Structure 1
Amino acid sequence: MEKWGYGGDNGPSMWHIVEGGAYPVAVEGNRQSPIDVQTNKVEVCDELGELKYMYDPKNCMSVENTGSSWKVNVNSDGSRIDALLSCIKKPREKTNLSGGPLGNDKYQLAQFHAHWGGENGRGSEHTVDGKMFSAELHLVHYNVKYGSFGEAADKPDGLAVLGMLIKVGAEHAEFGKLCDLLRKIPKKGDKVDICAPMDPANFLPRNKSYYTYEGSLTTPPLFESVTWILFKQPIEVSQAQIRFMRDLKFGDDHSERMCDNYRPPCPLKGRVVRTPKWL
């Protein structure tokens, strides 16, 4: 059983040697994530275009406590329920992401989750000029040419993640829908169906300017397969809303509250961070 986590004996600094499943790529890899975006070294590129995305709110199926975060499961690669629905009405629309650094490849949303700190001012995985935010939201997509998330997960162009930095401020309407569900999954393994539609597009900031670079998953197995698209404009959630995340547990009722579940920035190792010229 894998024993990685966020504690002193199994946290990110130990992932390359952690008991029960070491991940040497954590220190040996050349495109590990997250990173600190140094804005004075970002390359401005003419060829980077606008992102194109389409999400169907009905595709958000369930939310679960994974023991390291909450995770919204998105129906993205077809399922038996879609086959049944197609017999009686129009089936669910596929979710997809393209454009920007992804070119003409299409990526489907598979899940989204977050990382956060125990107090405001820390918790994001990516930092900008050394500045950390209170949390970070990740929308995880896979390249449809590989057929499934599992097949795409370890390919160099297999995944694309939209990252949103989160600061504490105004209440967030779409995040509020999620908070209503988080109170129902306090312990690891808890899971609840999503009944009311939840629109992933409503989590994106108004300004779509972004940084992009080649990176990895930020949790084991740390596959170096992610095209990262990190929005420059943070989104806001209220103090009460972020508390719902901090009230989750890493394990059962007697375990610690789920806080500081983030990986610190990794060395850039010669990679280039780019941004569109037109934004």
Structure 2
Amino acid sequence: QFVCSLSSDDCHTHQSPINIWTKMALYDPFLKPLKIQYDPTTSRKIVNLGHCFNVEFDDTSDMSVLSDGPLNSRYRLRQFHFHWGSSDKDGSEHVIDGNVYPAELHIVYWNSQKYESFEEAAKHPDGLAVIGVLLKIGEANPVLQTIIEHLDDVKTKGKEHSFTKYNLARLLPNDLDYWTYHGSLTTEPYFECVTWIVLQRFSRPKFAYMNRSASYSREACASILVPVFL
């Protein structure tokens, strides 16, 4: 796994993202299939964080949860967001066999079976789980268009807008085979609290509106070309 070289205070031995070399990945027969439960009624709002936008969910109950796979607990859905770049060749955070993809979806969960809150969970090695899904450029798709249309409602930092009854399952591929590793947040304070689950298949909908999305990102982030949040 990637060892950060910025400073000894901020960087450790399990930093994310990483370059996944598929031929070096080890098959573990004891890993279970992912068990994902989404309730569209738990989606609440879209929020401009200044460097990125989040779609946030009601995480006060176990209505939208992730379990099994590499996990030993039940994890509650908190939010999802996208990473993209200034071109179609530098958007994804994770790299597969040296290949960077146009965009990456991150679906963020926290260990609600063991901890009382997201903030508390983020302090522990088994606190968070994130599903990473790579996206390609393609034709217009209504699943993503629904999100893109709401970006005009949250053009400035701190703005938020109602975003309800969104079926997140429609962003996932049919095949949920995955790579997994223990890693970190990709922004400060770089806590090594994340079980990463990177899907081996691309998202079903493709990122058709990357140009408009990138424009929004630059407006919201000033000089930041690649929005990063976890």
Question: Which residue number in structure 1 is paired with residue 139 of structure 2?
Answer: 170
C-alpha separation in 2, matches of 1:115 and 1:129: 19
Aligned residues: CA RMSD: 2.2
Question: Which residue number in structure 1 is paired with residue 226 of structure 2?
Answer: 260
Deviation at 1:261, TM superposition (A): 2.5
Gaps of 5+ in 2: none
Does the alignment pair 1:222 with 2:190?
yes
Gaps of 5+ in 1: 1-12, 17-22, 79-92, 264-279
8 Å contact from structure 1 (residues 215, 224) kept in 2: yes
Question: Which residue number in structure 1 is paired with residue 180 of structure 2?
Answer: 212
Superposed, which structure 2 residues align to 1:48-59 within 5 Å? 48-59=31-42
Deviation at 1:260, TM superposition (A): 2.0
Among 24, 32, 36, the alignment partner of 2:9 is 24
Cα distance change of structure 1 residues 250 and 151 upon mapping to structure 2, 3 Å threshold: farther
Tell me the SS of whatever aligns to 2:170: helix
C-alpha separation in 1, matches of 2:94 and 2:38: 25
Question: Which residue number in structure 2 is paired with residue 243 of structure 1?
Answer: 211
Does the alignment pair 1:76 with 2:76?
no
What amino acid is aligned across from residue 9 of structure 2 in structure 1? P
Shifted more, 168-177 versus 55-64: the winner is: 168-177
Tell me the SS of whatever aligns to 1:248: helix
Q: Give the TM-score of the pair, scaled to structure 1.
A: 0.74
Question: Which residue number in structure 2 is paired with residue 64 of structure 1?
Answer: 47
Question: Which residue number in structure 2 is paired with residue 182 of structure 1?
Answer: 151
C-alpha separation in 1, matches of 2:63 and 2:183: 25
8 Å contact from structure 1 (residues 77, 147) kept in 2: no
8 Å contact from structure 1 (residues 188, 249) kept in 2: no
1:32-51 superposed Cα distances (whole Å, 9 cap, x missing partner): 10000001110011001110
8 Å contact from structure 2 (residues 52, 228) kept in 1: no
Q: Which has the larger radius of gyration?
A: 1
1:211-231 superposed Cα distances (whole Å, 9 cap, x missing partner): 000001112221100000000
Share of identical aligned residues, percent? 34
What amino acid is aligned across from residue 36 of structure 2 in structure 1? Y
C-alpha separation in 1, matches of 2:219 and 2:12: 30
